[in-house]
Chains A and B, each alone.
Chain A
């Protein structure tokens, strides 16, 4: 029975990934349609811009949740992590384009002044720019080519999460309940990495002092958990 179920998951797994892309992008497409036809309220551009940013944060959280879910809860969603990460990037990209085109009307001088002078915009821009190499290397070819380097590059997600979270917190005049919730979750997800690496180091020292130096467990194990 178990192997049957596993087989089914494998067979449907790739289809589910595509379904995830479709379902993940649907809110953006629907809201774009609403905004384009004048049914997104009094300030459609701002509403759409905030909406896209919010969904980028949601997919960032889901991406960061994959590893702790597997290690702590035992639920393995690793096959969806690339899609979740890319959805985060797509929403960040649309968020940026909305700001640039619909909100600022391509007034590059205003955008440049924003990016260079205002920490709020600076942090958002940093998070977006750092997402680009991650998106570009989110494919099997890059993983093969880059080897250990791939893992190192993708640790940028922690810096992105930090910049993105602060940008998200600064986006409104006061924090809403939803913002408090998401910021708490991001803080917990980042903290879980610190705890994990601390535990790993502590365990490593313990085993080394008991049995002397041991060969490295291997990059593959680390790659899968970072």
Chain B
């Protein structure tokens, strides 16, 4: 069991209340307008009630249209536009998640049970993709620790393994001759990472249930790690004492590590991770390249998890 530490929020990250309130007003009109425009691709997006939370960053939000049209979700195809274009056949409901392995009370959660047992809160997180681009996304979700506590992890459990859905009939990237990855998509965290208060299971974004292309109906969000750790459309969570295999690490072990912490000092073999393009800044001439922050700017909260570790080796 990891020790719980109170989150330290730097003064610079606290948004003044006046701006906070204006932001909500702005959002309300913005969401209304964009959801109308995007109606076909967001067929499953339903309004969601989410409490505000203290976990937020002061960065400008990435427009919803970009968050829902620029996705890596290889189950639907490898182009960024594939998930929004080819996820129409996917049926996120009904849905169950099996939680098993080294736990005292293994059980299968129905999505409805999850929504009532774990009321979502809004978390505005930075999202840094390993491909050197980033977004700022208002997720609606709940701490993974809340769900894990319900199943009572055994003292011997050291890791948490996640498994994505396999539905070739609904996911074009899972059928045909050229399949990009081995299915199911799998991911993993150390137990202390999984129990960290920043680690959430997201069920929505921008105040609506998750669109298919963003990992409906439930996905992982770990804001200090590269985006590929955030496994989408999760069907199973297993506690184990072995470091579980993770899809990208298995696919290219020298390019993607198990930890995959955002780290500007450890380049990808094919590109630098020192800077990133912030998505959603308009055309060519307003393109925004900015320095990448250690642990994606969440160092104050998570650096202690890796004290004494050589992060160049455990990248």
Q: Does B4 contact A (CB under 8 A)?
A: no
A177: interface (CB < 8 Å): yes
Closest CB-CB distance, A167 to chain B, in whole Å?
10
Binds B, one of A10-18, A43-51, A88-96, A189-197: A43-51
CB of B66 closer than 8 Å to a CB of A: yes
The minimal Cβ–Cβ distance linking B82 to chain A, given in whole angstroms, is 10
Query: Could you tell me the dominant secondary structure of chain A's interface residues?
Result: helix
With contacts defined as CB atoms under 8 Å apart, how many contacts are there between chain A and chain B in the complex?
83
Number of chain B residues close to chain A: CB under 8 A: 35
A residues 170-214 near B (Cβ < 8 Å) are 170, 172-177, 180
Residues of B within 8 A of A118 (CB): 267, 269-271
**A120, closest chain B residue (CB):** B270
- The answer to the question of A36 belonging to the interface, with a C-beta cut-off of 8 Å to chain B, is yes
Is A113 on the interface with B (CB-CB < 8 A)? yes
User: In which size bucket is the chain A interface?
Assistant: 35 or more
Closest to A174 in B: B180
Q: How distant is the Cα of A203 from the Cα of B78 in the complex, in angstroms?
A: 47
Nearest chain A CB to B230 CB, angstrom units: 15
| Chain B residues closer than 8 Å to A43, beta-carbon distance | 70, 80, 133, 277, 279
CB distance B70 to A102 under 8 Å?
A: no
Q: Which of B264-300 contact A (CB under 8 A)?
A: 267, 269-272, 274-275, 277, 279-280, 282-287, 289
Contact of B80 among A39, A42, A105 (CB under 8 A): A42
Contact A176 B270 (CB under 8 A): no
Give the one of A44, A48, A180 with max B CB within 10 A: A44
Q: Which positions 152-168 of chain A face chain B at CB distance < 8 Å? A: none
Specify the main secondary structure of chain B where it touches its partner.
loop
Chain A residue numbers with a CB within 8 Å of B131 are 173
Interface string of B248-259 (1 = CB under 8 A from A): 100110000000
Judge whether A172 and B289 touch: CB under 8 Å: no
Contact B279 A120 (CB under 8 A): no
Q: Say yes or no: B80 contacts A114, CB within 8 Å.
A: no
Q: Which residues on the A side are within 8 Å of B80 (C-beta)?
A: 41-43
> Chain B residue with minimal CB distance to A45?
B287
Pull 17 A–B residue pairs with CB atoms less than 8 Å apart, ordered by A: A38-B282, A38-B283, A42-B65, A42-B66, A44-B283, A102-B284, A103-B287, A107-B275, A107-B289, A118-B269, A118-B270, A120-B270, A172-B78, A173-B252, A174-B78, A174-B180, A177-B177
Q: A45-B287, A113-B272 given; name 13 further pairs at CB < 8 Å.
A: A35-B284, A42-B279, A43-B277, A44-B283, A46-B133, A107-B289, A173-B248, A174-B180, A174-B181, A174-B251, A175-B178, A177-B177, A177-B178
